[in-house]
Structure 1
Amino acid sequence: MDPALSTTLGALHREARRRLESAGIDGAAFDARLLVEHFTATTRAEAISDPDRMVDAQAVAAADAALTRRIVGEPVHRILGFREFHGLRLNLSAETLEPRPDTETLVDAVLPLIAQMVERHGTCRILDLGTGTGAIALALLAAVPQAVAVGADISDDALATALRNARDLGLLERFTATKSDWFGAISGQFDVIVSNPPYISSAEIKTLQKEVRDFDPLRALDGGADGLDAYRVIARESASHLKAGGIVAVEIGSSQNTDVTGIFHDAGFPVVTALRDLGGNDRVLVFARDGKA
């Protein structure tokens, strides 16, 4: 594919798929389709109904550059600059973790509990620790109009991205971004504390797929020597920031259920709900001070 030349939409799709398949990219056909559709501003229906449609040289060049980035390992959604999460389109940036479908399990776990809180009190105040793109907090706000949320993160880049996403989704009036190292700059109390913290052990980082290891921010991945550092902080400090009857919900690694449950139990937070993701792996734990949510 010569990026200096125009070509047909069908030919561009075929060449994109061939290049990614030749490079051994998992899901080559799907990634090729996403990239071609995005950089040519076309749809799947148009590719099927009008494969002889001409694509100008500028769009061909953009698709060519995107394919080159994918071949060297950059994830397709980082190339696109956004990803869908719980029905929301979220912008990504260099210092935000790419939100993944597994994390939607956390949103689904706490939504019924938030609905109960709103029914009782008329509102719900949420704290999202390590908010990144704002994915968890914004998905909860989108589903519960009476809720408000604070997204905390140590990264200025992440906070700017979360604010941009809140603005784009029309949720800015109910979302506050706060620069904080976990609870360091957080004041007040909340009904719900949620977090998808870094939970990969430092030694495991080098074994991750290159799409994760080389492109997700290390700070959002590295959970310390045993992967549990963040859980210890959240368990230790949540009590002073949680209202009576409030809950703490965290995403965990697939082998961390027992360890994380023990950390929170020792801090006075019995587990009230444990959920698995669509792959059948342990993924979310919900805790409450009195064992009742």
Structure 2
Amino acid sequence: MSESPPGGACPDPAGTVGAFLCRAGQHLRAAAIENPRLEARLLLAEAMGVEQGALLGSPRRPVPPEPAARFAAMLRRRLAHEPMAFILGHQGFWTLDLEVSPDTLIPRADSETVVEAALASLPVPAARVLDLGTGTGCLLLAVLSERPDAFGVGVDLSPAAAALAGRNARRNGLGGRAAFLAGDWAGALAGRFDLVLSNPPYILRESVPGLMPEVALHEPHRALDGGEDGLEAYRRIVAALPDLLTPHGCAVLELGQGQREAVSLLAGSAQLAIRGCRADLNGIERALILGRQ
């Protein structure tokens, strides 16, 4: 990182909050990072151990050497298009604060549509919930946070992801109602569940390298790659659902854009009923709701 970023001189004295934010914002803008000023403020607040609001009205506040060094290291990572959530080490989802790492996908706001559909569809209060491909545990933990009588199991192929989801359960006071294990989808499970959740890999394999660099270079490809047609994981999950669901249970699957029809056909072939589909805030059909016929 050069000492003279593009965009002109910064008005605040060197070594102050304003100067750090100005220079960092210029570097981030030059690297085609969206919202460069906001991201600079997030990084500097983290480096200094303060809330963002503490920086807004204090442009001439000095930045001590140790926070300045932390900020420079974090900024270099962001300029290399490492996701902000990985740099900060956590991400908000629903009402939760979740630890994240390169072992898992970063929870996204679109997936909250799955939580909304699940809460509207969950048939009984004291429910058993299963989350297949749990990652950070975000879907399962969000549902459990709203249903205090429910208990959940999360499964992920990655032992590191399953361990991280367990930490997130404890982090959010849900450790007593959630269990996480490493496994290949539902292969190691017995018993039935009132609700099955999943945000499976659904990106076409050939499209993964062309995703934005924050995703293609840093998030785990096993959690993105849906096979040649993007439906590989859905085939596995849908085939297992008749043996996983209680008689009045339901499943809510996250969809990629334009996948409703294809996944619905798979569900019909497995003798499952389509109970509805919920769109996200961008109008994309995002959460497919299935049940037993």
Q: Which residue of 2 aligns with 1:10?
A: 18
Q: Conserved in 2, the CA contact under 8 Å of 1:223 and 1:229? A: yes
Q: Which residue of 1 aligns with 2:10?
A: none
Secondary structure class of the residue paired with 2:135: coil
Q: Which residue of 2 aligns with 1:164?
A: 167
Distance (Å, rounded) in 2 between the aligned partners of 1:7 and 1:157: 40
Q: How is 1:165-244 mapped onto 2 (pairs within 5 angstroms)?
A: 165-244=168-247
Q: 1:96 aligns with which of 104, 109, 134?
A: 104
Q: Which residue of 2 aligns with 1:135?
A: 138
Q: Conserved in 1, the CA contact under 8 Å of 2:134 and 2:156? A: yes
Q: Kindly state the Cα deviation for residue 127 of structure 1 after the two structures are TM-superposed.
A: 0.3
Amino acid at match of 2:254: E
Amino acid at match of 1:279: N
* 1:163-205 CA distance string (max 9 Å, x none): 1101111101100012110011111110000000000111111
Amino acid at match of 1:117: V
Q: How is 1:29-178 mapped onto 2 (pairs within 5 angstroms)?
A: 29-114=37-122, 116-118=123-125, 123-178=126-181
Q: Conserved in 1, the CA contact under 8 Å of 2:94 and 2:112? A: yes
* 1:181-234 CA distance string (max 9 Å, x none): 001111111000000000011111111111111111011000111010111111
- Where in structure 1 are there 5+ consecutive unaligned residues? none
Distance (Å, rounded) in 1 between the aligned partners of 2:61 and 2:36: 23
Amino acid at match of 1:41: G
Q: Kindly state the Cα deviation for residue 275 of structure 1 after the two structures are TM-superposed.
A: 1.1
Secondary structure class of the residue paired with 1:55: coil
Q: Conserved in 2, the CA contact under 8 Å of 1:179 and 1:185? A: no
Q: Kindly state the Cα deviation for residue 113 of structure 1 after the two structures are TM-superposed.
A: 2.1
Secondary structure class of the residue paired with 2:45: helix
Secondary structure class of the residue paired with 2:272: coil
Q: Conserved in 2, the CA contact under 8 Å of 1:93 and 1:157? A: no
Amino acid at match of 2:256: G
Distance (Å, rounded) in 2 between the aligned partners of 1:204 and 1:266: 27
Q: Report the number of matched residues.
A: 282
Distance (Å, rounded) in 1 between the aligned partners of 2:235 and 2:258: 16
Amino acid at match of 2:72: D
Q: Conserved in 2, the CA contact under 8 Å of 1:198 and 1:223? A: yes
Q: Conserved in 2, the CA contact under 8 Å of 1:271 and 1:286? A: yes
Distance (Å, rounded) in 2 between the aligned partners of 1:44 and 1:132: 28
Distance (Å, rounded) in 1 between the aligned partners of 2:40 and 2:56: 15
Secondary structure class of the residue paired with 1:117: coil
Q: Kindly state the Cα deviation for residue 54 of structure 1 after the two structures are TM-superposed.
A: 1.5
Q: Kindly state the Cα deviation for residue 40 of structure 1 after the two structures are TM-superposed.
A: 1.2
TM-score, normalization by structure 2: 0.93
Amino acid at match of 1:91: E
Q: Conserved in 1, the CA contact under 8 Å of 2:42 and 2:52? A: no
Q: Kindly state the Cα deviation for residue 14 of structure 1 after the two structures are TM-superposed.
A: 1.5
Amino acid at match of 1:142: S
Distance (Å, rounded) in 2 between the aligned partners of 1:172 and 1:164: 8
Alignment RMSD: 1.3
Q: Which residue of 2 aligns with 1:271?
A: 274
- Runs of 4 or more, structure 1, over 3 Å off, are none
Q: Conserved in 2, the CA contact under 8 Å of 1:152 and 1:182? A: yes
Q: Kindly state the Cα deviation for residue 137 of structure 1 after the two structures are TM-superposed.
A: 0.4
* 1:144-173 CA distance string (max 9 Å, x none): 101110000110110110011011111011
Distance (Å, rounded) in 2 between the aligned partners of 1:74 and 1:87: 24
Amino acid at match of 1:132: G
Q: 1:27 aligns with which of 15, 35, 49?
A: 35
